[in-house]
Amino acid sequence: MMRRSMETVIDVIVYPIMNVIVFGFISKYLLGSTNQGMFLSLIIAMLFWQVFSTTQYTVSVATLWNMWSHNLTNLFASPLTLFEYFVAHAITALVKAILIFGIGSLIAYLQFGYSVIQLPVLFLLIVMINLYVTGISIGLVLIGFIFAHGTRIQALTWGFVSIIQPLASVFYPLSILPEPFQSIARVLPLTYMFEALRQTILDGAVLPASQQLLISGSLISFLYLVVSILFFKYLISSSRQSGQFAKNDL
């Protein structure tokens, strides 16, 4: 479908790569010569951000494609289960996220001289898995809302990242945020991952403080996944009760 859908190619491939490139140049211009650690942490944050945003976008928009094609009833009139449907999109999201991360990493290495494999492999994997799981969780809840309320809220699928990005302290420390927003940021697993990422790049090693951030963030990510699955099931059930599930296909 990718080669026939320019929207998907632009959204999933072009935008993320351009973000890494443009963000890299801006960071280099502002900080490159004065603060190498900060410069790298900004590029790497943008690179890892793509894992979350690509995952969330892919999981959510795939359902919209089925709605736009009026294909949803056909799908769910087949023996396909919701679990299988979800897993299929989760696998697609994983492939796309790895692809984008790979291309972005290559650009970061070739253009800005930083290799992500300088980070400890286990640390890298934990951060990526957490960002992927959070992307899945939020994507799932967004699909659930679309099933329950229809495509009138479809803009959330591509707009939600813009709401969550400033709150998740992706490019700056949590302490920069005003206090009410810090409280919100503390319940987001993304915040812990990007704090840990920043500290590790600046420290040059995964110190105990970063380890603690990874543990806390992972627990919250897992909690998000469990809650999002339960909430998704509830939204699907209410959508089938209200008749909106089938109406989404018209």
Partner 1 sequence: MGHILSVEHLTKDFGEFRAVDDISFSIAKGSVVGMLGKNGAGKTTTIRMLLGVTTPTSGAISYFGKNFNSHREPSLQRINYISSYNTLLGRTSVWENLQIYAYLYNTQDHKKKIDELLTYFEVQDIKKKIYEDLSSGQKTRVNLVKSLLNDPELILMDEPTAALDPDIADKTLSLIENWKKEKNLSILYTSHNMQEVTRICDEVLFLSQGKIIEHDTPANLAKKVTKAQLILTFEKDPQLAFEYLKNRAISYEHKAPNQMIIETQENEIPRIIFDISKTGLWMNDITINKPTLEDFFLQISRNTHEIS
Burial category of 113 from C-beta neighbours within 10 Å (exposed 0-12, middle 13-18, buried 19 and up): exposed
For partner 1, give the closer residue by CB, 186 or 233: 233
Choose, by CB under 8 A, the member of 73, 199, 211, 216 that binds partner 1.
73
Q: Is 75 in the site for partner 1 (CB under 8 A)?
A: yes
CB of 203 vs partner 1, minimal distance in Å: 47
For partner 1, give the closer residue by CB, 221 or 248: 248
- Cα torsion 10, 15, 17, 22: sign: positive
Choose, by CB under 8 A, the member of 76, 101, 132, 232 that binds partner 1.
76
Q: Is 82 in the site for partner 1 (CB under 8 A)?
A: no
C-alpha to C-alpha distance for 50 and 40, rounded to whole angstroms: 16
Q: Is 249 in the site for partner 1 (CB under 8 A)?
A: yes
Q: Is 117 in the site for partner 1 (CB under 8 A)?
A: no
Q: Is 237 in the site for partner 1 (CB under 8 A)?
A: yes
Residues in the chain: 250
Q: For residue 118, how many other CB atoms are within 10 A of its CB?
A: 12
CA dist list (Å): 93 to 3, 47, 128: 17, 16, 13
Residues in contact with partner 1 by CB under 8 A are 1, 4-5, 65-66, 68-81, 237, 240-243, 245-246, 249-250
